Amino acid sequence: MNEQGRPTAPVTAVTEDAANTFTGNRALQMEEPLIFETGRYDVTGVDLPQEAGRAERATGSKKEAASAEGATGKKTRLGKHARTAPIDLPGLTEPEAMRHYVRLSQKNYAIDSGLYPLGSCTMKHNPRLNEKMARLPGFADIHPLQPVATVTGATELITELGRWLLEMTGMRSVAMSPKAGAHGELCGMMAIKAALTARGDKRSTVLVPESAHGTNPATAALLGYSVVDVPAREDGTVDPAAVRERLSPDVAAIMLTNPNTCGLFERDVVAIADAVHEAGALFYADGANFNAIVGKVKPGDLGVDAMHINLHKTFSTPHGGGGPGAGPVVFSDMLAPYAPVPFVRIAGEGAEFVGTRAEAGEGAAPFGRMTAFHGQMGMFVRAMAYMFSHGADGMRQASDDAVLNANYVRAGLRDLMSQPFGDRVCMHEVLFDDHFLDDTGVTTLDFAKAMIDEGYHPMTMYFPLVVHGAMLIEPTESESKASLDLFIATLRDLVMRAKKGEAERFRQAPQLAPRRRLDETRAARQPKLKWEKPAPWSEAAE
């Protein structure tokens, strides 16, 4: 007790139903209703200056919106198109909105809160300098169609970013506009199709290893290709012999991820590329895992013809809860002429920005356009800031550390968890299967959910599909040794608990997160995809 009689030491006994609160809140974990349940239709958190807002006096309210009288006292020019019925959009004032979204944010795991070992997703630190740079008015407040003379700094940045990407990959040109990795894949495969069409070569199949991301076969199918699977050999990599067996004059391309989704470098990549090229086909590389090899090897030297680069993985632009990404695509000499506008290409000692088909000049045949405007400029600025910060030496060190960290995790767990392809060196991510959980009654899903209660985001689970109960761990270079030591110790403890027969604890997990396991079957069987107004009580009573 202090002098005011205030207790200064906690009572140790805890009441049994502490979690059973009146509000449903659990201290810092707040329950938060939907805006449609708390917002009001006559409330707004945005105001306008008197000058701009004057029209509201004439047409602001629902009734008056239908009025034909406009701001200046003249007729509006909406004709018969004016919206009269309610839109049903509730509003919140600023303090209410701040609280709503801050409370929502507190239900999310994030890189900034802890280790986020999602294999293949590359959850590395997102530097805040990048955010600051992207918000400079000279980048954030410029329009894609304002006169080109007023945006020379923007094209300079795109050109510089393109030049860095081309130097890192050893390629000839880079299409800048694809909006995400899958969009980049589509762009790369379109260039391949355009090049084959240009030489009058109609081919109908694409080879895709079984371990590939699902986007690869989906992309090939979108372009009308049928997909032929290539199985992995015993060691988790692609066998050039298996590729050769499937090659024919009908094969347009192979789509190969390297390092692959098992976390292994395709050591026979050059032989595979040679075989593909001999058959008149092209080599698309999925660059999702480029972060392992930046500054270590250039994909162009391995025979790659096209490769997308996820700026949101390798170059640290934030994942933002599922986007926006950015997926520029680099092209070899063979495919460079087909790059869609806008693109950057090697010119003399440097690089040049090509914004239109006319600027591309003779000898170039851009296959079209992937998107309106120039691509993800905001992501370009962030990636450029990352590259400038790291430099050639820092990027190489980042690759080294990413691979070092994954192998350190492997070394810390190899005696307790099972590796599908034996105990061998991995790249930036380490893959385990669920063999080590045999007879424990614990599944990969249970194991992953138990990690949540320990304060970790689960690793990628059940992917790649070629491994049973896969657990793919990518720590990234952002984790310190101390952080990895605790992570390893935690997983070791979980494995021991599973082996000791604590299956029920795993099946119940997570117990401490904002939500327990969710009923996904119900969500899919009775889809409820938006908020509906509750029925009036008279109808509900029936």
Partner 1 sequence: MRYLPHTEADREAMLARIGVPAIDALFADIPADKRLDGLLDLPATRSEMEVEAALGRMAGKNTPAGSVPFFVGAGAYRHHVPASVDHLIQRSEFLTSYTPYQPEVSQGTLQYLFEFQTQVANLTGMEVANASMYDGSTGTAEAVLMAHRVTKRRKAVLSGGLHPQYRAVVETVSEMAEDAVVALPPDPTGTEAILDAIDDETSCVVVQSPSFYGELIDLAPIAEKAHAVGALLVAVFTEVVSLGAIEPPGAQGADIVVGEGQSIGNPLTFGGPYVGLFATRQKFLRQMPGRLCGETVDAEGRRGFVLTLSTREQHIRRDKATSNICTNSGLCCLAFTIHMTLLGETGLRRLAASNHASAVALADSLSEVPGVSVLNDSFFNEFTIRVPGDAAEVIDALAQNGILGGVPVSRLEHDRPDLADLIVVATTETNTDADRAAFVAGLKEVLS
Least distance from partner 1 to the Cβ atom of residue 392, Å:
4
Distance CA 161, CA 342 (A): 13
Strand pairing of 282-286 and 251-257? Answer: parallel
Q: Do the Cβ atoms of 462 and 524 come closer than 8 Å?
A: no
Least distance from partner 1 to the Cβ atom of residue 334, Å:
18
**H helices of 342-376, where?**
357-360
Q: Do the Cβ atoms of 488 and 496 come closer than 8 Å?
A: no
6 or 77: whose CB is closer to partner 1?
77
Residue in 211, 275, 207, 201 with CA at minimum distance from that of residue 237: 211
Cβ-based neighbours of 280, under 8 Å, separated by 6 or more: 201, 249
Least distance from partner 1 to the Cβ atom of residue 364, Å:
15
Least distance from partner 1 to the Cβ atom of residue 10, Å:
28
180 or 431: whose CB is closer to partner 1?
180
Least distance from partner 1 to the Cβ atom of residue 7, Å:
33
Least distance from partner 1 to the Cβ atom of residue 305, Å:
16
122 or 418: whose CB is closer to partner 1?
122
Tokens of 534: 């509750």
Cβ-based neighbours of 227, under 8 Å, separated by 6 or more: 205, 206, 207, 208, 217, 220, 221
Least distance from partner 1 to the Cβ atom of residue 348, Å:
14
245 or 301: whose CB is closer to partner 1?
301
Cβ-based neighbours of 95, under 8 Å, separated by 6 or more: none
Q: Do the Cβ atoms of 127 and 316 come closer than 8 Å?
A: yes
Distance, first Cα to last Cα, the chain: 60
438 or 511: whose CB is closer to partner 1?
511
Tell whether the torsion through CA atoms of 436, 439, 441 and 445 is positive or negative.
positive
426 or 495: whose CB is closer to partner 1?
426
74 or 500: whose CB is closer to partner 1?
74
Least distance from partner 1 to the Cβ atom of residue 539, Å:
19
Distance CA 409, CA 404 (A): 9
2 or 20: whose CB is closer to partner 1?
20
How far, rounded to the nearest angstrom, does the alpha carbon of residue 170 sit from its chain's CA centroid?
A: 25
Distance CA 134, CA 43 (A): 32
